[in-house]
Amino acid sequence: MDNPKKESLTTGQGYDERASSCSNIRRNKSSQFPSNLKELNTLNVNYLRSKYPTVPEHGVNPKRHTDKTAGSLTKAVKAAIELMGGQCERISHMGRSLDNRYSYTDVLDRTKTIGSVKYIPSTGTNGTADLSATIQGRSVKIEVKIGKDRMSEAQKIYCEKVEAAGGIYIIARSYSQFVEELERRLKNG
């Protein structure tokens, strides 16, 4: 036992320290999600007040969540999952453009641009959901659709794959509908 690193690895001391520090970031271990946006906003204000107790009341300026647009609904769902002790991340499945153009001035003082712009497709899975979360130990994928938005064929195939693997796939059209569907699916196993 000459090497202290080896000893800590075999005894698992380093792992226990990391595990305890990870559990400190959990916010609320309650299994009851806020059922509407007003409750979510109240929960968010209370969380910020407990996180920053020395900040005066007027200094706590939390984001007010809505479900009017796809972006705001996505942010509200993500915030609710994280406030309730789950893990959630937004998935971006877009390619990017690579701009190889440059400009120069010729001998006649004319500006010329040469080169091209090339689109590089994403390496992600086609049809992937907007949010990927772990809630109460379950894998949950959330697709946000507002108004007349419909799922593409790739999204339907992705949904089937997730559910065949035992995960939960939810199409969120409003915050309250998302909460109802999530609670129903978590209860049914």
Considering its fold, how many domains does the chain have in total? 1
66-74: average pLDDT:
92
Give residue 23's pLDDT band: very low, low, confident or very high (50, 70, 90): very low
Residue 164 lies in a domain: yes
Would you state the structure tokens that stand for residue 143, as one six-digit string?
């697709």
Give residue 22's pLDDT band: very low, low, confident or very high (50, 70, 90): very low
Residue 36 lies in a domain: yes
For residue 46, is pLDDT > 60? yes
The closest of 59, 63, 61 to 72, measured between CA atoms, is 63
Residue 107 lies in a domain: no
**pLDDT for 132:** 95
Domain range for 40: 31-93+125-187
Residue 8 lies in a domain: no
pLDDT tens, 115-164? 999 988 887 788 899 999 999 999 999 999 999 989 999 999 999 999 99
Would you state the structure tokens that stand for residue 120, as one six-digit string?
């590089």
**pLDDT for 88:** 95
pLDDT tens, 78-109? 999 999 899 999 998 777 888 999 999 999 99
For residue 6, is pLDDT > 90? no
Residue 116 lies in a domain: no
Residue 119 lies in a domain: no
Would you state the structure tokens that stand for residue 48, as one six-digit string?
């910020």
Residue 48 lies in a domain: yes
**pLDDT for 28:** 52
For residue 12, is pLDDT > 90? no
**What are the DSSP calls for 34-63, one per residue?**
-SSHHHHHHHHHHHHHHH-TTS-GGG--PP
CATH number, residue 150 = 3.40.1350.10
For residue 26, is pLDDT > 80? no
**pLDDT for 89:** 95
Higher pLDDT among residues 72 and 13, named by residue? 72
The closest of 131, 144, 148 to 174, measured between CA atoms, is 144
Residue 61 lies in a domain: yes
